[in-house]
Each structure stands twice: as C-alpha cells, then as structure tokens.
Amino acid sequence: MATADDFHEAVPLADLEESGRKLTSVDGVPIALFHHEGEVRAVNNCCPHMGFPLVEGTVDDGILTCHWHHARFELSCGDTFDPWADDVQTYPVEVRDGTVYVNPNPVRELPPEEHWTDRLETGLEENLRLVVAKSTIGLLDAGVDYREPAARTLEFGTQYRDAGWGRGLTVLGCMANVIDDLEERDRKRALYTGVRYVANDCAGETPNFDQPSLSTDDVGFDRLKTWFRDCVELRDADGAERCLRTAVESGRSEAELAELVFSAATDHPYLSTGHVLDFANTAFETLDHVGAEHTADALASLVEPLVTADRSDEQSAWRQPVDLVALLEDVYGGDVTETSGLEELANEGDGESWSPPADFQATLLGDDPEAIVDALADAVRAGATTEELAAAVAHAAATRVAQFGTGNEFGDWDTVHHTFTYANAVQGATRRTDAIELYRAVFDAAISVYLDRFLNTPPARVPEPGEDTGRDPDTIREELLETFDTDGEVNRAGRLVGEFFDCGGDPAALKRTLGHGLLREDADFHTLQNVEAAFRRFDLVEERPDGGENVDLERRRRIPLIGTARYMAAHFPTRREAEQTFSIATRLGRGERIHE
C-alpha cells in the first residue's frame, strides 16, 4: 500500500535480514533490496549496462557487482566504478514497525537531457560504443534537438585530434545532412553513427592545442588570403592556423572564409584523392547545423589535412602518359596555383548566359582530355558560373559510379567514389563563394572523371526512364532492401531503383529506404559519404530542375540514387555489429530484459 509521503511497503525487514537480498516490484518499478553492514539499500534491479538482474549480483565491502559483465556500483549512491557502465538508480528506504518502505519515484539528481549529455561525454572520451548508443537514443527521446549533441561532438572532435578534421567529423557532418531524410528511428541511428565515428577517430590520438589569432585586426582580406595560401604551400601549419583564426576573429563573412579555405584547397589539384576539399565542404555544412559559434575551431581543424595533403600534380597518373597538369596550367595561367587565365575567360563571359551543349556530358565522359579542358574553357568563356559547371561535372562523376563495371577490382569502387564525392563537394563550395579559384576545382574534378574512364569499360547498363512494370513501388523498395542481404546484387539494386522511378515511386520514400539500408549495416566511411552525396545530388537537381535545355532531367535525377544503390550493394551485407549495439541500447531504454 502507498503512504501519503510516497513511500510504499516493500518487504518485512526480518525476511530481508535473513536472505540478505530481495526482489520486489514497487509501483511497477523492479527494485533489488539488500541488507548489508546493518543498512538497507535499494537499487533498480536492471543493471544499467545491459539489464542483468542485480539482485543476482554480489555485495562485498559496500560494492555491488553485476555477474554478467562485472560492472561495479557503490551500493549506497549507485555510482559506477566502471565508465562503460552507467550509474544505477538508487531509491530512498525507511524501516517502519519492522517493514521496509521504498520510494520508487525519487527526485532525480539530473534531468534526462543532462544525464545523457554527461554520458555522451563519457562515451566520447572512453570510445564506448554502447554508452554512445544509449546516450544518443536517450537525448533524442528526451526531446533534445540533434544539433546539440552534434555540436558537442564537433567540439570534442576538434579538441582531441591533433591530426585535424578527418573521417569521424566528416561522417558526423554527413549524418547531420541526411537526418531529415530518415525515418524517426533511423535518425537515432544516424546520430549514433556520427558520434561513434568521432569517438573512434579520436581514441588514442594526441589532443589539439590551438594557435592564437594574430593580435591585429588591421589586415586586408587579400593580404590575409595570400599569407594563408603561402603558409599552406610551405606546409606551415602553425602560421596557416593563425591566419585562419585571425580571419574568423576579425569578423570575415562566411563567403570570405570559404574563399580563404577553398583557394588553398585548390592550389594543387585533387589533394589527397579529393578528401581535403570534401572535408572542407563538410566542415562548412556541419556549421550550418550546429551554429557559427563553432566556426573557428571547425575551420582550424582543416589546416592539418591541408598542409599534409598528397598533391596530385606530383603523382604519375596526372603526368603520364599525358601531362594533364600541363593542360590545366595552360588554362589557369601558367601554374597550378594561378588563376589569371581563368580570370580572362570569366571576363569574356561576363554578362553571358550559358547552357550546356548537347554533347557536353559525352565530352566530359570521353577519352580526350584536351577536348574536356577545351569544353570547360569554352563554357567559362560563354558565361558558365562555377556552380553551373560544377553541377555538370558532378553529374558526370555520378554517372561513373552508376556505370561502374563489376569486372573491375573491388577497390576500384573507391576510385570512382572519390571523384564523385569530390565533385559533389566542389558544387557545395560554389554555393558558398564565387571565388575564381573554384573554377580550378571544377577542372580538377573533370580530369579525375577522365582518369576513371576505364572503370566504365564496358559501362554497366543504367536503366533508362520509361520502363514501367506496373509494380507497387513499396514492393520494389522492400525488394531493394533484400538485395543488401546478399553478396553481389549490384546490378539488381540499380535496376530496382530505376524501376521504382518508372513506377511512380516517391523519391522521399526511396531515400528513407536507402537510409535504413545504410544505417543498419557497419557501413564504412566511404559508403556513408557516398549515400550522403547521392542524396545531395538528387536534391540539387530537384532544386534547380532547368539544368539547360539539353539536359535530360529525368535521367539526371535518378543517376545518383542508382549509383549509390549499386555502391551499397557492392559493400553489403556486413556483420552489423553496430546495429546489434544500437538494438541493445534501444531495448534497454524500453526496459526489456536483454539477458532473456
């Protein structure tokens, strides 16, 4: 029976003294009672680690030990000795007339959002996957906007990885970009994926120590840009960071900061197989989610990847058998770091309106690098903006993925993937700044598309629009998910996406299906990137459907999703270890008995 002061009758004290422990349910709450060292203690019977019944544990010297994974808890307060476990809930007890009473609803020390924020910190610091899963689920269940844990994770990732922006923070940004396209439960998976990647990326790494901004704010933008590029060119990380932080502290606009970063990221073609510019674009996109107050640390973390990057103009593939770098230098103005030639072309096209010629995509996907460079130069001369050209090249790069021949080596999937995500990032960059340097990024991406040509020999068949089978689109989506359960269903996955479009399926539903298929797997860095880029490419086609009078809109909008479905099918299924952890965390949150 309940008393007026919220204490409920539990068990006779004599019975508890005799047995040392009792399990009871008070107001629906499973409570383990212990009589230890003359005191009565009450804790939630479910071990906070994985739900094992604590009443079956061992109490010694004031410590309760769970027998499943040996998590230890201080019995009087419930605090854990082991960071990978959580603190167990304790309950106030009173002994009245030989009977033990328990209050099953004590005032919590912390509200759920604060508790799970603390646990998120622990999960990041200790790289504890289950803690990360429980905290991300707990935060979203408590109504916390995903942007808050994403911001904290960004702070952690920039502070505790001296190597700077890497795969972990990129995955975090990619997951933030797709989160609105997902079902509710998959949004939790997406946040969990981003956080665990950052935690893993920072594990065992040297922490970062910031360089301060320069004391003066009386430096013109052009001079600051020159200093920054010179420092990056000389691989001087400290000097580059001070310049960049000075730009942020002096209140430079987002467009100016983007120009600063992307100019240095394109002073050499296709840095580190495109990762450097892709990282930079993702950093800006992540700031769109978490807020401008994180700008300085986020952008400063890009310096290390910039100054340590591999430069493609030093790679043999860009020099032999055709000197592709020389072709680019002729257009740029005599050197890969120049823009004077591009400025002349852009000045010729000033005020003009460009529409892609009918054979423009065929040229980009062709085997003549001089024709590709000439076509791009003619486009600039005709008034093509950086964004218009970037969109065209990104479509060509997406086509390479969609037409990837499965007779190639498996690792070659990443070759076409790198070009695709780089080209996608280039267009993202052009939407932030109209800096002339981004024409270089467009040319570089087009040359990378050219270098990938043999991976489309012969090209895989891309389903053309108009092959309506009359099937239910929902049935097609279910079948698409099934292809990810079997090795080698690459071409079938592509056909199903094409069929889905032909049968009038809702693209939003297709994206939810692809997102679910992605997040239930142990998807690697590149696969997560690939799906996010495909979603972005689809969205940009939808946003600007004109694309010029010679563009086949229906084919353009389906190519990215066909390509990413094929890429996913090539890399799935996996062991789904991360999904197992997520499932355990979800079941624990619902109070289920994992051990049963």
Q: Do 325 and 311 contact (CB within 8 A), yes or no?
A: no
Q: Which residue positions in the chain have pLDDT lower than 50?
A: 1-4, 547-550
Q: How far apart are CA 438 and CA 271, in angstroms?
A: 14
Is the bond preceding residue 321 a cis peptide, omega within 30 degrees?
yes
pLDDT for position 592: 78
Alpha-carbon dihedral angle through residues 365, 366, 370, 376, given to the nearest 10 degrees: -30
pLDDT for position 282: 98
pLDDT for position 544: 63
- Whole-angstrom CA distances from 386 to 137, 239, 326, 426, 443 are 41, 29, 21, 9, 10
Q: How far apart are CA 445 and CA 447, in angstroms?
A: 5
Q: Do 124 and 199 contact (CB within 8 A), yes or no?
A: yes
Residue 411: both structure tokens together: 């690792």
In this structure, which long-range contacts are made by residues 8-11, counting pairs with CB atoms below 8 Å and at least 24 apart in sequence? 8/101, 8/102, 8/103, 8/104, 9/99, 9/100, 9/101, 10/42, 10/93, 10/99, 10/100, 10/101, 10/102, 11/99, 11/100
Phi and psi at residue 594, in whole multiples of 5°?
-60, -40
Nearest by Cα to 541 from 372, 373, 398, 445: 398
Phi and psi at residue 180, in whole multiples of 5°?
-75, -15
Q: How many helices (H) and strands (E) does the chain have?
A: 25, 9
- The whole-model pTM stands at 0.93
Q: How far apart are CA 331 and CA 344, in angstroms?
A: 10
Q: Do 499 and 144 contact (CB within 8 A), yes or no?
A: no
Q: Containing H/E element for 95?
A: strand 93-96
Tell me how far apart the 2 most distant CA atoms of the chain are, in Å.
Answer: 96
pLDDT for position 244: 97
In the beta sheet, which residues pair with residue 2? 8
pLDDT for position 2: 44
Nearest 5 degrees, angle CA 251-CA 256-CA 259?
A: 150
pLDDT for position 596: 66
Helix (H, G, I), strand (E, B) or coil at 409: coil
Q: Count other Cβ atoms within 10 Å, centred on residue 235.
A: 12
Residue 498: both structure tokens together: 């094409």
